[in-house]
């Protein structure tokens, strides 16, 4: 991989490693009396390790100059593997915390292992570690193929992949040390947030510069979604994380906003993290890999346009449905509810577009577990967006809010949609990346499919049950007009559901392990004499397209 | 329309600006007015700030992720009001940077927890929840009682909070470390000085039962005991409305 960089690029990479080391050392020094010091040390160490790795290869010969006539897939390869590793790690933690709600004693007498610190390790691990790496990896792949151009940089893709993973590492280790800003899905503290901003700018510039090289006049739909993902996540991230650190030597900061304004900003962020991280980016994936695997073009171009702009516009209004019946002014709650209901239209347009694309290829869906992953993903996408719009209705939300119903909804979206579409995309992508005819084992894909589906169904059904039982118990009145149940009665009632959820989660986790193994074994399959040709090569133009 | 879009698809920069424009509208319409419309947050006279010890306790609440299982926002629904007390008002979290309204109730709401239980109950509960609530699924937090509280830098914390809008005085900031210590050590000079600054009604107690050792438990319990008690306005409003019926 390093041999794909010229010596000049390697030298530049070393400079960046030195900068990273210095940055880490500075943080470590000014934060030596604080937990921040550990993170400084971690960054400095990472910088040094990277430096040594590159140095060991510095005298390797320059790469073949014909590299410009090929797509640049090394960063995607790393992204895919790392993404699956995050999945295994983070669903392991997810299942651990699920068991903790059944057996609360199953923990060590230490802060890092308690539910409250491990839960964000799970959420960050799956959303950013697994989801983020999957998005970055596939976006690089899709961008190049749909533009017929090589990535506009050899070093910058690595800055994105490695930098992003360092951010994830800072985040999850931070929670275990007790570093958290407490905002859901935006828990990392100020220095990690700033670090991510830098990485994200590199990502955005790389994306635009590659688009500028494209040989196709039109920007393909998938790239609209990836662009929206990159742009809007940047806006959300910067605004929601505005904060004043206690000092430059403290990890802790205080959010710029407070109370109602903070709540609204947070859920504007939170809901749109769902929209632009967990939805838009993955729709980008769907719009490329599903038609490719099915061998059919997207059903309707018009529907793609409507759903894209519908989602981009409407989602940003919907965050206040997280704050129904709270101290947030009524007019904002009502706006949030209204837009959430309308949101079902573009969401179903996307899901429908995907399913109609498969129409006529049902025998493939039946026989090919990879395509079936994507089919199920589209179904769960339709299901969870319908459910979401339903839960956004005030009276429904009065029952569902604060209960496991929300958690069930989250995982219908996260397991059923986000994870399934990713598995489908990866199983399509991996043989292309490593130039193999097929995946190592189609039976293992089949096994993964059924484990993932069973796990998801068990998870979601148990949470629907527990959520509705909880919500009904909280509002039940006895005949004499007093509340019928104490809070702990509702906790007792959850036991069987929490148990079932943890079992379902384990099945899902097991599927992930099998997936990682299968992908890894595919990369190690012996090369065949005539490797398959998947793509037309990039067009090397003297002039960029624009 | 399709033709226009086909044009847009050919121009990456135009596409970028279109996305930014379309995506910004919702946030601007919904969030910006919250900072300017006066009615968003009620004005009350008796709203007080968190003491340094309570700030430290709040930071432990955040560090341990208590908000993942406990909300601090009582909705305007009858059963919630009967279970937890008067519904939460915006002003009550005016000084909460960040807010801790929460989104999941694995455990009960804590918005009006203050003085509902004794300090000793809290300490026992945090050391092992199942000692006091046999079927609780809450984790135990025994290490809080073992860890000394780090409080020397509380002045920096208060200064940062002032920068984001909490009205701490210079004097409060300067003596923050002493006040942290004083609030948990009754009958000491520092305790008297603390009360002068924060008022006679502030809680001054050895929250964890051991006045000799300032622990994280002291701070967390001090915070829990103030939840819902920074102002009385929610209770007043509630009794006014029932009184009027
Ligand atoms: C039309 C689309 C959708 C709408 C209108 C919607 C609506 C909602 C509503 C009303 C809640 C509950 C808020 C509360 O009571 O606290 C919620 C929670 C959530 N939804 Fe959706 N949803 C949609 C799609 C999705 C999708 C596709 C995902 C993908 C993973 C998703 C992930 C989440 C998450 C993570 C939460 C939990 C937030 C939290 O409390 O931490 N949603 N959504
Ligand atoms: C093995 C599979 C999984 C298990 C066992 C699992 C388990 C859990 C548990 C126990 C919680 C805490 C719920 C609570 O506080 O009551 C949780 C929260 C969450 N998980 Fe998972 N999870 C799994 C997979 C995933 C995946 C793949 C994703 C995303 C792609 C995901 C996203 C989330 C999110 C966003 C939350 C926060 C929900 C909220 O705040 O309402 N999980 N998960």
**Residue range A334-357, pLDDT digits in tens:** 999 999 999 999 999 999 999 999
- Angle at CA of residue A39, ends A167 and A58, nearest 5°: 70
Q: Is the pLDDT of residue A144 over 60?
A: yes
A81 and A212 share a domain? Answer: yes
Ligand 2 atom closest to Cα of residue A101: 10
CA B183 from chain centre, in angstroms, equals: 18
Q: Is the pLDDT of residue A540 over 80?
A: no
| Ligand 1 pocket residue status of A119, Cβ below 6 Å | no
A311, A282 Cβ separation under 8 angstroms: no
Last residue of a domain, one of A41, A61, A81: A61
Which are the contacts of A305, defined by CB distance < 8 A and separation ≥ 6? Answer: B2, B5
Distance from the alpha carbon of residue B37 to the mean position of ligand 2, in angstroms = 37
A151 and A231 share a domain? Answer: yes
| Ligand 2 pocket residue status of A267, Cβ below 6 Å | no
A211 and A280 share a domain? Answer: yes
Query: In this predicted structure, what is the pLDDT of residue A544?
Result: 45
A144 and A42 share a domain? Answer: no
Q: A536 lies in a domain?
A: no
Q: A543 lies in a domain?
A: no
User: Residue B99 is nearest to which of A258, A302, A494, comparing CB atoms?
Assistant: A258
Q: A295 lies in a domain?
A: yes
Chain B nearest CA to A293, separation (Å) = 24
CB contact under 8 A, A316 and B25: yes
A272 and A289 share a domain? Answer: yes
Tens digits of residue pLDDT in B139-198: 999 999 999 999 999 999 999 999 999 999 999 999 999 999 999 999 899 999 999 999
Query: In this predicted structure, what is the pLDDT of residue A515?
Result: 98
Query: In this predicted structure, what is the pLDDT of residue A21?
Result: 97
Could you please report the per-residue DSSP string of A282-315? HHHHHHHHHHHHHTS--S-HHHHHHHHHHHHHHG
A186 and A51 share a domain? Answer: no
Distance from the alpha carbon of residue A465 to the mean position of ligand 2, in angstroms = 16
Q: A538 lies in a domain?
A: no
CB contact under 8 A, B19 and A227: yes
Q: Is the pLDDT of residue A546 over 80?
A: no
Tens digits of residue pLDDT in A243-300: 999 999 999 999 999 999 999 999 999 999 989 999 999 999 999 999 999 999 999 9
A304 and A379 share a domain? Answer: yes
A223 and A341 share a domain? Answer: yes
Q: Which residue of A has its CA nearest to B29?
A: A317
Q: State the DSSP code for A148.
A: T
Spell out which residues of chain A touch residue B99, defining contact as CB-CB under 8 Å: 258-260, 262-263, 266
With the most atoms of ligand 1 within 8 angstroms of its CB, the residue from A186, A283, A384, A416 to mutate is: A384
- A3 — phi, psi (to 5°)? -70, -10
Query: In this predicted structure, what is the pLDDT of residue A505?
Result: 97
Q: SS3 for A254?
A: strand
CA A439 from chain centre, in angstroms, equals: 24
Which are the contacts of A367, defined by CB distance < 8 A and separation ≥ 6? Answer: none
Report yes or no: B99 at the A interface, CB cutoff 8 Å.
Answer: yes
- Expressed as residue numbers, the domain containing A197 is 70-527
Domains held by chain A: number:
2
Tens digits of residue pLDDT in A106-118: 888 888 999 999 9
Distance from the alpha carbon of residue A458 to the mean position of ligand 1, in angstroms = 19
Ligand nearest to the CA of A467: 2
Report yes or no: B21 at the A interface, CB cutoff 8 Å.
Answer: no
Query: In this predicted structure, what is the pLDDT of residue B245?
Result: 39
Q: A467 lies in a domain?
A: yes
A43 and A83 share a domain? Answer: no
β-bridge mates for residue A179, sequence order: none
Spell out which residues of chain B touch residue A325, defining contact as CB-CB under 8 Å: 75-77
Which are the contacts of B50, defined by CB distance < 8 A and separation ≥ 6? Answer: B58, B95, B166, B223, B226, B230
Q: What is the mean pLDDT of residues A61-78?
A: 91
- In three-state form (DSSP H/G/I as H, E/B as E, the rest C), the secondary structure along A361-401 is CHHHHHHCHHHHHHHHHHHHHHHHHHHHHHHCCHHHHHHHC
User: Residue A316 is nearest to which of B26, B105, B135, comparing CB atoms?
Assistant: B26
Q: A535 lies in a domain?
A: no
Distance from the alpha carbon of residue A80 to the mean position of ligand 2, in angstroms = 21
Q: A345 lies in a domain?
A: yes
Q: Which of A341, A443, A440 lies closest to A387 in space, CA to CA?
A: A341
Spell out which residues of chain A touch residue B55, defining contact as CB-CB under 8 Å: none
Tens digits of residue pLDDT in A456-482: 999 999 999 999 999 999 999 999 999
User: Residue B12 is nearest to which of A110, A208, A323, comparing CB atoms?
Assistant: A208
Report yes or no: B90 at the A interface, CB cutoff 8 Å.
Answer: yes
Spell out which residues of chain B touch residue A546, defining contact as CB-CB under 8 Å: 11-12
With the most atoms of ligand 2 within 8 angstroms of its CB, the residue from A134, A275, A407, A467 to mutate is: A407
CB contact under 8 A, B26 and A180: no
Q: A545 lies in a domain?
A: no
Which tokens sit at B41? 């947050």
Residue A248, Cβ neighbours under 10 Å: how many?
A: 12
A175 and A284 share a domain? Answer: yes
CA A350 from chain centre, in angstroms, equals: 19
CATH of the domain at A206: 1.20.210.10
Ligand nearest to the CA of A318: 1
| Ligand 1 pocket residue status of A340, Cβ below 6 Å | yes
Q: State the DSSP code for A49.
A: H
Q: Using omega within 30 degrees of 0 as the cis cutoff, is the peptide bond preceding B98 cis?
A: yes
| Ligand 2 pocket residue status of A175, Cβ below 6 Å | no
A216 and A269 share a domain? Answer: yes
Proportion of chain A above pLDDT 70, given as a percent? 99
Report yes or no: B129 at the A interface, CB cutoff 8 Å.
Answer: yes
A79 and A187 share a domain? Answer: yes
Q: What is the mean pLDDT of residues A508-524?
A: 97
Chain B nearest CA to A330, separation (Å) = 10
């Amino acid at each position: 991989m390093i041999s794909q960089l010229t010596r000049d690029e390697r030298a530049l990479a070393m400079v960046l490693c030195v900068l990273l080391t210095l940055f880490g050392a500075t943080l470590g020094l000014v934060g030596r009396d604080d937990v921040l010091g550990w993170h400084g040390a971690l960054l400095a160490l990472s910088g040094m390790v990277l430096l040594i790795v590159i140095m060991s290869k510095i005298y390797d010969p320059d790469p073949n100059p014909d590299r410009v006539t090929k797509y640049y897939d090394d960063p995607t390869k790393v992204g895919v593997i790392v993404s699956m590793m995050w999945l295994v790690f983070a669903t392991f933690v997810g299942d651990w915390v699920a068991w903790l709600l059944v057996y609360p004693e199953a923990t060590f007498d230490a802060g890092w292992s308690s539910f409250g610190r491990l839960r964000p390790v799970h959420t960050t691990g799956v959303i950013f570690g697994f989801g983020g790496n999957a998005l970055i990896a596939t976006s690089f792949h899709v961008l190049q193929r749909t533009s017929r151009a090589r990535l506009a940089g050899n070093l910058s893709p690595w800055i994105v992949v490695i930098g992003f993973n360092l951010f994830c590492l800072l985040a999850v280790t931070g929670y275990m040390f007790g570093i958290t800003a407490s905002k859901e899905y935006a828990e990392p503290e100020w220095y990690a947030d700033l670090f991510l901003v830098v990485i994200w700018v590199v990502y955005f510039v790389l994306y635009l510069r590659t688009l500028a090289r494209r040989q196709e006049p039109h920007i393909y739909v998938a790239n609209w979604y990836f662009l929206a993902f990159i742009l809007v996540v940047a806006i959300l991230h910067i605004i929601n994380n505005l904060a004043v650190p206690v000092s430059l030597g403290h990890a802790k900061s205080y959010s710029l906003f407070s109370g109602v304004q903070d709540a609204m900003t947070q859920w504007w962020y939170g809901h749109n993290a769902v929209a632009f991280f967990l939805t838009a980016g993955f729709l980008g994936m769907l719009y490329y890999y599903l038609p490719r695997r099915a061998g059919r073009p997207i059903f309707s171009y018009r529907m793609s346009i409507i759903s894209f702009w519908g989602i981009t516009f409407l989602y940003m209004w919907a965050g206040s449905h997280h704050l129904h019946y709270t101290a947030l002014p009524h007019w904002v709650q009502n706006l949030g509810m209204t837009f959430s209901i309308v949101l079902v239209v573009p969401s179903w347009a996307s899901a429908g577009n995907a399913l109609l694309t498969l129409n006529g290829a049902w025998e493939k869906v039946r026989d090919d577990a990879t395509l079936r992953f994507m089919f199920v993903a589209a179904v769960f996408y339709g299901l969870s967006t319908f459910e979401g719009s339903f839960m956004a209705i005030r009276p429904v939300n009065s029952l569902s809010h604060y209960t496991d119903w929300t958690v069930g909804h989250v995982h219908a979206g996260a397991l059923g949609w986000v994870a399934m579409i990713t598995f489908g995309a990866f199983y399509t992508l991996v043989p292309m990346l490593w130039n193999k005819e097929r995946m190592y084992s189609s039976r293992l894909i089949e096994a993964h499919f059924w484990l993932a589906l069973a796990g998801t169904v068990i998870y979601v059904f148990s949470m629907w049950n527990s959520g509705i039982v909880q919500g009904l118990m909280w509002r039940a009145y006895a005949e004499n007009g007093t509340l019928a149940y104490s809070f702990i009665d509702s906790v007792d009632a959850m036991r069987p559901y929490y148990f079932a959820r943890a079992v379902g989660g384990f099945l899902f986790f097991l599927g992930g392990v099998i997936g990682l193994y299968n992908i890894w074994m595919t990369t190690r399959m012996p090369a065949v004499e005539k490797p398959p040709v998947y793509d037309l090569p990039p067009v090397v133009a003297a002039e960029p397209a624009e | 329309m399709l033709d226009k879009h086909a044009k847009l698809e050919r121009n990456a920069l135009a596409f970028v600006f279109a996305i930014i424009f379309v995506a910004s509208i919702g946030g601007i319409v919904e969030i910006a007015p919250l900072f300017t419309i006066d009615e968003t947050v009620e004005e009350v006279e008796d709203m007080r700030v968190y003491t340094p010890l309570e700030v430290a306790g709040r930071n432990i609440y955040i560090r341990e992720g208590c908000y993942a299982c406990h909300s601090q926002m009582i909705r305007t629904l009858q059963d919630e009001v009967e279970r937890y007390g008067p519904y939460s008002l915006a002003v009550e979290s005016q000084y909460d940077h960040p807010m801790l309204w929460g989104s999941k109730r694995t455990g009960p709401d804590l918005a009006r927890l203050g003085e509902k239980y004794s300090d000793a109950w809290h300490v026992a509960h945090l050391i092992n929840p199942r000692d006091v609530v046999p079927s609780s699924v809450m984790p135990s937090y025994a290490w809080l009682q073992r860890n000394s509280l780090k409080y020397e830098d509380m002045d920096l914390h208060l200064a940062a909070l002032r920068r984001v809008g909490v009205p701490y005085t210079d004097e409060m900031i300067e003596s923050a470390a002493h006040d942290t210590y004083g609030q948990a050590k009754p009958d000491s000079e520092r305790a008297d000085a603390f009360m002068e600054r924060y008022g006679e009604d502030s809680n001054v107690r050895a929250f964890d039962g051991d006045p000799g050792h300032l622990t994280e438990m002291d701070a967390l319990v001090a915070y829990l005991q103030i939840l819902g008690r920074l102002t009385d306005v929610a209770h007043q409003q509630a009794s006014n409305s029932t009184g009027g019926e």
